């Protein structure tokens, strides 16, 4: 049985490839140097295990990891072991004021990510945050202002699409017209709580941003991408703390209905993955088209197929299972090229921040569900 945190930590010693949130990424070279180094980058903030996937993605695209900064010894040690070439500095200013560093990568505590990204852009650097990259609409307004003023890249790694091989193949199939025109996405993001291992900030809504802002941003990114929507609105949203009364600042359930200029979407996120499942969450995405549909079972096929990255295609011609385990993940390569060429091939700035804006609006306007007070039977 695999937890999401265990899957991420296992990445440090995986022989066949790095395993990050159920996704395999190619290992960097044994000596820790980037292949054909094109940019120099640094890491600030190791508070979520996604930092390993972010770092490996940039390195796979030609980034050279130069230095990092964190204050937690229990987080520093495994990062140093994984990336011995990276120098631990005494403060973030050593990174921000180093003119040779092109990019700052961060998985700090969520409500600290946007302020850090703003400082990075003001120091002439591009920025790649873990999701959620922003936790309030006020932060988002400032991010947009500084990004426009500086012309730097403010990117968020929505890993359930950009670091997922099944999602990558689905994008190729949709682009090729395999299911006609997409009219709706239905995304679910269940997670296992693993309460004893969670840090204090995990339970504080002001620090993690709320369940829709946090894990719901993945599904909103996918809704925009697969429907091709460039404009969208939140139709309805709701959140609740249904089973964790001992943590009153927490939310364990949320769902959202969306309407865009390319289609509609529904998402549900929760912290109710049972211990009987063999991984941290049965993340799914259904993409409905006018001529068929695609279903992704990203991290497990409960019907019994081994591994992850499962895709099912049904259209007018066939019903097909597609094993996506060998699909290339191009984000790192495209992102590094965007930094070098000032392009938007990995993800447009408008898309990146629209996904965040919708998550923040859905979070802010959500109806709060009451905790159940009576048994079901």
Tell which CATH architecture fits domain 4-157.
Answer: 3-Layer(aba) Sandwich (3.40)
SS3 87: strand
> pLDDT value at position 28?
37
Give the residue, 31 or 63, on which the prediction is more confident: 63
% of residues, the chain, pLDDT over 90: 88
Handedness of CA 348, 350, 353, 355 (dihedral sign): negative
User: For 192-216, what is each residue's pLDDT tens digit?
Assistant: 999 999 999 999 999 999 999 999 9
Q: Which two tokens stand for residue 307?
A: 């591994």
User: For 97-124, what is each residue's pLDDT tens digit?
Assistant: 999 999 999 999 999 999 999 999 999 9
Q: Flag whether pLDDT at 376 surpasses 80.
A: no
> pLDDT value at position 225?
98
Q: Flag whether pLDDT at 27 surpasses 70.
A: no
Report the C-alpha gap between 148 and 142 in whole angstroms: 10
> Which residues make beta-bridge pairs with 257?
236, 266
> pLDDT value at position 163?
97
> pLDDT value at position 172?
98
> pLDDT value at position 1?
53
User: For 128-181, what is each residue's pLDDT tens digit?
Assistant: 999 999 999 999 999 999 999 999 999 999 999 999 999 999 999 999 999 999
Report the C-alpha gap between 314 and 229 in whole angstroms: 23
Q: Flag whether pLDDT at 358 surpasses 50.
A: yes
Q: Flag whether pLDDT at 234 surpasses 90.
A: yes
Q: What is the mean pLDDT of residues 87-104?
A: 98
C-alpha distances (whole Å) from 315 to each of 135, 145, 173 are: 39, 44, 11
Mean predicted lDDT score pLDDT of the chain = 91
β pairing state of 103-106 and 39-44 = parallel
Q: What is the mean pLDDT of residues 297-317?
A: 95
Contact 339, 153 (CB under 8 A): yes
Backbone angles phi, psi at 112, to 5 degrees: -95, -5
Per-domain residue ranges for the chain?
A: 4-157, 161-329
> pLDDT value at position 26?
33
Beta strand segments in the chain, E: 18-20, 23-25, 39-44, 63-69, 87-88, 103-106, 126-130, 154-157, 182-190, 232-240, 253-260, 263-270, 284-289, 292-297, 310-315, 319-323, 367-369
pLDDT band at 11 (very low <50, low <70, confident <90, very high): very low
pLDDT band at 36 (very low <50, low <70, confident <90, very high): low
| Closest-CA residue to 2 (of 235, 228, 279) | 279
Listed range (21-35, 48-62, 242-256, 261-275) with the worst mean pLDDT = 21-35
Q: Flag whether pLDDT at 8 surpasses 60.
A: no
> pLDDT value at position 15?
29
> pLDDT value at position 4?
55
C-alpha distances (whole Å) from 314 to each of 95, 176, 183, 204 are: 49, 14, 15, 42
Tell which CATH architecture fits domain 161-329.
Answer: 2-Layer Sandwich (3.30)
Q: Flag whether pLDDT at 37 surpasses 80.
A: no
> pLDDT value at position 141?
98
| Closest-CA residue to 217 (of 234, 241, 202, 200) | 234
> pLDDT value at position 321?
97
pLDDT band at 83 (very low <50, low <70, confident <90, very high): very high
Q: Which two tokens stand for residue 183?
A: 């009219």
């Amino acid at each position: 049985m695999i937890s999401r945190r265990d899957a991420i930590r296992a990445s440090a010693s995986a022989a066949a490839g790095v395993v990050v949130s159920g996704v395999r990424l190619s290992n960097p070279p044994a000596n820790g140097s980037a292949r054909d180094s094109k940019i120099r980058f640094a890491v600030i903030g190791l508070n979520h295990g996604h930092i390993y996937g972010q770092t490996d993605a940039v390195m796979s695209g030609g980034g050279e990891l130069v230095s990092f900064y964190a204050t937690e010894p229990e987080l520093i040690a495994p990062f140093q072991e994984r990336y011995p070439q990276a120098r631990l500095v005494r403060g973030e200013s050593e990174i921000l004021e180093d003119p040779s560093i092109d990019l700052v990568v961060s998985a700090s505590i969520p409500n600290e990510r946007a302020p850090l990204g703003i400082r990075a852009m003001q120091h002439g650097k591009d920025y790649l945050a873990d999701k959620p990259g922003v936790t309030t609409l006020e932060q988002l307004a400032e991010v947009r202002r500084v990004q426009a003023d500086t012309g730097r890249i403010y990117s968020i790694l929505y890993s359930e699409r950009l670091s997922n091989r099944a999602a990558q193949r689905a994008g190729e199939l949709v682009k090729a017209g395999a299911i006609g025109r997409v009219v709706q996405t239905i995304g679910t993001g269940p997670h296992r709580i693993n309460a004893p291992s969670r840090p204090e900030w995990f339970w504080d809504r002001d620090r993690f941003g709320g369940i829709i802002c946090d894990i719901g941003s993945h599904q909103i990114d996918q809704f925009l991408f697969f429907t091709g929507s460039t404009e969208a609105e939140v139709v309805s949203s709701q959140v609740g703390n249904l089973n964790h009364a001992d943590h009153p600042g927490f939310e364990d359930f949320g769902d959202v209905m969306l309407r865009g200029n390319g289609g509609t979407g529904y998402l549900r996120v929760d912290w109710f993955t049972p211990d009987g499942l063999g991984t941290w969450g049965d993340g799914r995405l259904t993409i409905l088209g006018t001529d068929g549909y695609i279903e992704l079972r990203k991290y497990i096929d409960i019907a019994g197929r081994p591994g992850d990255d499962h895709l099912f295609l049904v259209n007018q011609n066939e019903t097909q299972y597609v094993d996506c385990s060998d699909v290339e993940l191009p984000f790192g390569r495209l992102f590094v090229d965007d930094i070098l060429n000032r392009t938007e091939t990995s993800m447009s700035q408008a898309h990146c921040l629209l996904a965040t804006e919708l998550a923040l609006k859905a979070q802010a306007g959500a109806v709060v569900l009451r905790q159940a007070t009576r048994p079901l039977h």
